[in-house]
Structure 1
Amino acid sequence: METMQQHSADRRSTYLAALTLEIERKLQKALISPRQRPELLQQLFADVALEVEDRARDMIFKKDEDKITSADDGIENHLCFYDVLADYFVGEPENGKHILDLIVQLWSQSFVSHIFALIFHKWLFEVSVENSEMLLRYGSALVQGATNVFWIDIQTNRKRFFPLFSYLLQEVALVPYRGNKISLQARRDLCLLLSRFLFFYNLDDLLEKFLGQFPGFPNAFLVGGPADIFVIELADQLQKLKVEPVLLHYLSRMSALKGLELRMTTSTRLKACLYSFTSPGGPMYPTRVVRHAAWDTLDLLFPVGQYPRHIISLFFRLLYPWYWPSSCWNFIMTCVRTVVFYILRIIGSSWENMRKSKDY
């Protein structure tokens, strides 16, 4: 048994060492080939973000050690190469030293911060780094790279980088001694980043704990406390979203904001953001389903004044005659569906009563 375990460990070590050498080779090639550099770095990023296939999985894990879990609550939690490499460089930090040196030489290039954030995010917080100047650079590169990869998930409506987000939130932002390894400015930027994507990755149940670990912000006396800063970042994020399913997902999770104590200026900012999604036309051009979701969220978070808001909105809709035909058509179809469903419920109820009377 011990011989088999040793053989499995050796095979895993050999495979990951070969993977490390391949990453080094591609980075070295990118360094000496300026013309091919963007393409090579993009390919390397795609490689480390790939999901681990069955053959590689057998080499990396024993059957009882398989880390792959099924999707939960819509989160794609499939094991990717970056997740394996991140653990590997924590256990064998010397093996990643040459890769780090190459990454530092390529800092200014596209996709380098992506690669660094994916494969060295655990190394940065779990391995001792004595050079404070490098820590400053690593912290800022981590935030930049994580921002870019999370936006890739937003654009594709995927959650491939959920393990990275989960680690940064639960193992860094909520664990002060780890967060203190990077500079105060990097910690602030990290909290702002997590605020923008918390709802997307369905971790809003940790919102209260997260707000309790916010670092101090120099402009807090102007913008307010952690809750205000979180909502401001969230409102800015909503304005940038262009993928309808993602926007609807954000709106569906915003019930978590109910009960937060916010400054009047923050509440007004959030209200204005949501209100911008309730009207057809520019600048947002929201679809009908988005408009209804925004109205539902607005009425849930700000129940006071909801009826005057709807009346004012209806008045402004009347000023744009070209919207009347679609509004009338949608109103008629809604009424028809309501009547049909009502009749079907009556028929179903009558049928059920007849069956019960026959049974007696």
Structure 2
Amino acid sequence: MEKTPSTSRSSAYLDALTQEIKKKLTRALASPAQRRNLLQDLFADIALEVDERAKDAILSRDEDGISSAEADADGPLCFFDVLADYYVKVSDSGKDILDLMLQLWSQSFASHIFSLLFHKWLFEVQLDNQEILLRYSSALVQGATNVFWIDIQTNTRRFQTLFRYLLEEVALESSRLNRIPIQAQRDLYLLLSRFILFYNSVDKLESFLGHFPELPNAFLVGGPSDFFVIELTDQLQKLKVEPVLLHYLSQMKVLHGMELRMTTSTRLKACLYSFTSPGGPMYPTRAVRHAAWDTLDSLFPVGRYPRHLISLFFRLLYPWYWPSSCWNFVVSCIKTLLYSLVGLIFSRREKPRRC
């Protein structure tokens, strides 16, 4: 099939980008002292969003002026998105990069770069060497974990396309999932469990749990729901960015009605309860405390009032919290009163109009 001018231009641009990546990897290999900085710069380059001028050169558009990559993009279109597609369509184009990556395998940001550039390639090609396949699979999980944490720390979703691919096109598609070793499959599911709420994919949760692979200690821990909740509670304990933590707490209401073992349910309850009190070890803000109470009462309505009474009793044991608690209580009362007055005034104004 003859290539159109736009397709040829796109291939030439992506090939030029590939050559630049190879040059930077070669420089990193030849400069041990600058290796980490060079790999970090390369990672930052491929994670950049594609600007409008580059889009015209990279994306081949159809008659309507819309490219398939743009139509499938979920969020900002980044260089790693188009390069990952390119290395699948033209599999030989990434061979030299992979050879260089293997020589830099133990370096910082190597797994980051691999997961961004070759996450689609790994599930589309046939690799006969099981040792290499296991190495690639482990690097993918490690690199994806690292880049997802970058999104967590910055409260952005730049790598959402990577997450969505691993969830929807791999975890929920047995034909692709079975291409990697069983241990890598388990690690991938545990990874996705930790970030599925962050990337707003709760609508896929039921299907995700239905595809959960069998884990070796399932007899002791429980079923897929138990593993998911355990990973989720561990993730909550590590979160330090308030907007992200609030987002997780609001999304966790989807767990209502989920069947869990007693130990898992107690673990979830204890995790949420730890965010309801000021001070150590969590030092949650007032917004986080209220969100945690809201989620806790939603998931565990039985015993709601005794929990609040016990919490109030322990708050009374710490007099230094009384001024702030009293002040917040007064402010809340004033806000409630003002909202009630405004609502009453507007309701009275609307009555004559209706008559």
- Residue number in structure 2 paired with 1:317: 315
CA deviations 1:95-133 (Å, max 9, x no partner) are 100100000110100000000000000000011122111
Q: Matches of 1:69 and 1:330 in 2, distance apart? A: 48
How far apart are 1:343 and its partner, in Å? 1.1
Q: Deviations over 1:178-198 (max 9, x none)?
A: 111111111111000000000
- DSSP-derived class of the 1:266 partner: helix
Q: C-alpha distance in 2, partners of 1:243/1:123?
A: 33
CA contact (8 A) 1:70 1:77 kept: no
Give the distance between the partners of 1:224 and 1:295, measured in 2 at CA.
26
5 Å matches for 1:178-197? 178-197=176-195
Conserved in 2, the CA contact under 8 Å of 1:68 and 1:78? no
Q: 1:315 to 1:69 in 2, by over 3 A?
A: farther
Aligned to 2:112: 114
180-189 or 60-69, which deviates more: 60-69
Matched, 1:280 2:255: no
The answer to whether structure 1 residue 45 and structure 2 residue 47 are counterparts is no
Residue matched to 2:80: 82
* CA deviation string 1:142-180 (max 9, x = no partner): 000000000000000000000000000001101112111
8 Å CA contact retained: 1:278, 1:295: yes
Indicate the SS of the match to 1:68.
helix
Aligned to 1:94, the other structure's residue is in SS state helix
* Number of aligned positions between the proteins: 351
Amino acid at match of 2:24: K
CA distance in 1: counterparts of 2:70 and 2:95, whole angstroms:
28
Between the aligned partners of 2:191 and 2:36, the Cα distance in structure 1 is 26
* In structure 2, C-alpha distance between the alignment counterparts of 1:224 and 1:101, rounded to whole Å: 41
Deviations 1:237-284 (A, max 9, x none): 000000000000001101111111000000000000000000000000
In structure 1, how many angstroms separate the alpha carbons of the residues matched to 2:305 and 2:258? 23
Instruction: Tell whether the 8 Å contact from 1:69 to 1:78 is kept in structure 2 after alignment.
Output: no
Does the Cα contact within 8 Å between 2:137 and 2:180 map onto a contact in 1? yes
Instruction: Pick from 328, 331, 334 the counterpart of residue 332 of structure 2.
Output: 334
How far off its partner does 1:67 sit? Answer: 2.9
2: distance between equivalents of 1:117 and 1:36? 22
Verify the 8 A CA contact 1:255 1:301 in the aligned structure 2: yes
The code of the aligned residue for 1:127 comes to V
RMSD: 1.4
1:356 Cα offset (Å) = 3.1
**One-letter identity of the residue aligned with 1:58:** D
Equivalent-residue separation in structure 1 for 2:155 and 2:303 (angstroms): 34
Cα deviation 1:69-106 (Å, max 9, x = unaligned): 699xxxx6111000100000001111100100000110
1:156 to 154, 157, 181: 154
Match of 1:126 in 2: 124
Question: 117, 142, 145: which is aligned to 1:144?
Answer: 142
- What TM-score comes out, normalization by structure 2 length? 0.97
Alpha-carbon separation, structure 2, partners of 1:18 and 1:87: 15
Task: Provide the secondary structure at the position in 1 that maps to 2:132.
Answer: helix
The match for 1:241 is: 239
8 Å CA contact 1:241, 1:247 repeated in 2: yes
Cα 1:243–1:45 change in 2 (3 A) is same
Contact kept? 2:275, 2:288, Cα under 8 Å: yes
Q: Which one-letter code corresponds to 1:147 in the other structure?
A: T
Cα distance in structure 2, aligned partners of 1:238 and 1:273: 8
Where do 4+ consecutive residues of structure 1 move more than 6 Å?
A: none
Among 67, 72, 75, the alignment partner of 1:65 is 67
Alignment of 1:3-42 (within 5 A): 6-42=4-40
CA distance in 2, matches of 1:356, 1:163: 51
Higher mean C-alpha displacement, 53-62 vs 113-122: 53-62
Q: How does 1:189-268 map to 2 (within 5 A)?
A: 189-268=187-266
Contact 1:204 1:256 in 2 (8 A): yes
Distance (whole Å) between structure 2 residues aligned to residue 66 and residue 190 of structure 1: 27
TM-score, normalised to structure 1, is: 0.95
CA distance in 2, matches of 1:156, 1:70: 24
**Aligned partners of 2:69 and 2:82 also within 8 Å:** no
Could you tell me which residue of structure 2 aligns to residue 94 of structure 1? 92
Question: Identity of counterpart residues, as a percentage?
Answer: 68
Q: Is the 8 A contact 1:113 1:144 kept in 2?
A: yes
Gaps of 5+ in 2: none
What is the CA–CA distance in structure 1 between the aligned matches of 2:92 and 2:184, rounded to whole Å? 25
For residue 32 of structure 2, give the secondary structure of its aligned residue in structure 1: coil
Aligned AA for 2:186?
A: R
